[in-house]
Amino acid sequence: MVDLPRMVLASGSPRRAEIMNSVGWEFTQDVPDIDESELLGEEPDIYVQRLARAKAEAVAARHSDSTILAADTTVVIDARILGKPVDLEDAKRMLRLLSGRWHEVLTGVAVLKDGHAAVGLQRTKVKFAEMSDKEVTFLAERGDPLDKAGAYAVQAQAALFIEGIEGDYWNVVGLPISLVYRLIMTESGVANV
């Protein structure tokens, strides 16, 4: 029997909560309040791992005896981070940039227990079809892009335009759940098989 420890999910993301629920993982949610600004010259993989750990640490202060799970996801194209768009025009700009091209989705994951952190990274490649201006506008206006890195949700309207995914689909949704499991089972030692 696999014993999945009850966790505190340091996130307000409904997508992350849905993924946790779908695999039967018991958790509560507590939303961290941290500065998500990039540091000057920071590489995208370092950025998402740093933010995941910072989110976990911020929430751990309120849940000292709990296992804390935090994640941070971003989209990277041409070595540039595409975070959450600031408005619909910014979302359209991002979607035009992604149109017809491969990009990477990076998620940093941190599991924190008793002051010990296990931090990991998941990379997934995603290819968008060429999109017309009308399709970009449709996706920006109907796809609820403002709370999503890269201005899209793979499991919603953006699915109409996704030509390929190489790697972990759940990473693109927002939480690479198999990485979470591996971190807990092998690195932090907080669960029993």
Tens-place pLDDT, residues 105-142: 999 999 999 889 999 999 999 999 999 999 999 999 98
Rounded mean pLDDT, 86-95: 95
Residue linked to tokens 């010259």: 41
Tokens at residue 151, please?
Answer: 């201005």
Give phi and psi for 176, each to the nearest 5: -75, 85
pTM: 0.91
In the CATH hierarchy, which top-level class contains the domain 7-188? alpha beta
pLDDT of 159 above 80: yes
Q: Which helix (H) or strand (E) holds 173?
A: helix 169-173
Q: Which helix (H) or strand (E) holds 22?
A: helix 14-22
Catalytic residue among 3, 65, 72, 114: 72
Rounded mean pLDDT, 80-104: 95
Domain boundaries, the chain: 7-188
The per-residue pLDDT for 77 is 96
For the chain, what is the mean pLDDT?
Answer: 92
Q: Which residue has the higher pLDDT, 110 or 146?
A: 110
Grade residue 143 by pLDDT with cuts at 50, 70 and 90.
confident
Which range, of 34-38, 80-84, 142-146, averages the lowest pLDDT? 142-146
Q: At what angle do helices 133-142 and 88-98 cross, to 10 degrees?
A: 130
The per-residue pLDDT for 192 is 36
Grade residue 193 by pLDDT with cuts at 50, 70 and 90.
very low
User: By the 8 A CB rule, do 83 and 74 touch?
Assistant: yes
Is 72 a catalytic site residue?
yes
The rounded percent of the chain whose pLDDT value lies above 70 is 95
The per-residue pLDDT for 64 is 84
